[in-house]
């Protein structure tokens, strides 16, 4: 496939990584208008009571502010809260302790801009999953792009065209299999098998992609 074009995302969802795994190069949009309640500053993890959203607070953006200019807010103790949530939800997963040391710097160091924070996270997660792809940031906004345009996947309500096969999750016996989660869920639960699951993702059939 052509190089995918994705929005920037915090601890991106699994289907972002299925797109990355299928291409040797991926572009991340940094000139789109920032929108709240998207994957740009939030992710979903699996908790005992179901999906749990973790949100990175941002300084209130100006109308039409582009993603590259959005600043992270230091209001509250969100870094500690996110770290504690990951520990609470995944301590009993097989690979939490194996990978968490690599992720701790993202809850200890301060980044000013959300785009820089997300990009560094994405690069680290690409390394940990073992997929082979290069990441480039866009240098302008193009409404029509020669790339495989997946920017609409920024919306949590968007239905991906491919999904990984069901895998073991910590709270599956209580909640059933949860989809739409951060790549962290796959990584903590499946470890080195993560790359194989991403590379063997299957198309979502047309009926499943219809909005309810």
Confidence tier at 110 by pLDDT (50, 70, 90): very high
Confidence tier at 61 by pLDDT (50, 70, 90): confident
Q: Which residues of 40-54 are buried (b: 16+ CB within 10 A; e: fewer)?
A: bbbbbbbbeeeebeb
Residue 105 scores a pLDDT above 90: yes
Neighbours of 184 (CB within 10 A): 28
Interval 13-59: pLDDT, tens: 999 999 999 889 999 999 999 998 999 999 999 999 999 999 999 99
Residue 101: helix, strand or coil by DSSP? helix
Q: What is the pLDDT of residue 55?
A: 97
**Which position has the token pair 């299957």?**
202
Interval 68-99: pLDDT, tens: 999 999 888 999 999 999 999 999 999 999 99
Q: How far apart are CA 99 and CA 48, in angstroms?
A: 21
Output the six-digit token pair for 46: 């699996």
pTM to 2 decimal places: 0.93
62-69 mean pLDDT:
92
Interval 177-200: pLDDT, tens: 999 999 999 999 999 999 999 999
Q: Is the dihedral of CA 178, 193, 165, 150 positive or negative?
A: positive
Residue 208 scores a pLDDT above 60: no
Identify the H or E element spanning 77: none
Helix axes 183-190, 96-103, angle to 10 degrees: 140
Q: What is the pLDDT of residue 207?
A: 40
Residue 1 scores a pLDDT above 90: no
Q: What is the pLDDT of residue 156?
A: 93
Give the best-scoring range by mean pLDDT among 23-27, 120-124, 131-135, 154-158: 120-124
Q: How far apart are CA 63 and CA 108, in angstroms?
A: 30
Q: What is the pLDDT of residue 116?
A: 98
């Amino acid at each position: 496939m052509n190089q995918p074009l994705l929005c920037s995302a915090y601890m991106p969802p699994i289907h972002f990584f299925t797109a990355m795994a299928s291409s040797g190069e991926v572009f991340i949009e940094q000139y789109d208008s920032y929108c709240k309640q998207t994957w740009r500053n939030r992710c979903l993890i699996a908790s005992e009571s179901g999906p749990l959203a973790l949100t990175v607070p941002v300084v209130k953006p100006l109308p039409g502010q582009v993603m590259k200019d959005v600043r992270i807010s230091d209001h509250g103790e969100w870094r500690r809260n996110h770290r504690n949530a990951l520990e609470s939800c995944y301590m009993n997963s097989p690979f939490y302790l194996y990978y968490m040391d690599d992720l701790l710097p993202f809850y200890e160091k301060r980044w000013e801009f959300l785009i820089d924070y997300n990009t560094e996270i994405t690069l680290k997660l690409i390394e940990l999953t073992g997929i082979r792809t290069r990441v480039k940031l866009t240098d302008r906004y193009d409404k029509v792009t020669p790339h495989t345009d997946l920017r609409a996947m920024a919306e949590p309500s968007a239905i991906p065209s491919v999904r990984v096969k069901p895998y073991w999750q910590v709270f599956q016996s209580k909640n059933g299999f949860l989809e739409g989660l951060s790549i962290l869920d796959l990584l903590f639960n499946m470890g080195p098998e993560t790359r194989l699951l991403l590379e063997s993702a299957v198309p979502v059939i047309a009926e499943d992609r219809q909005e309810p």
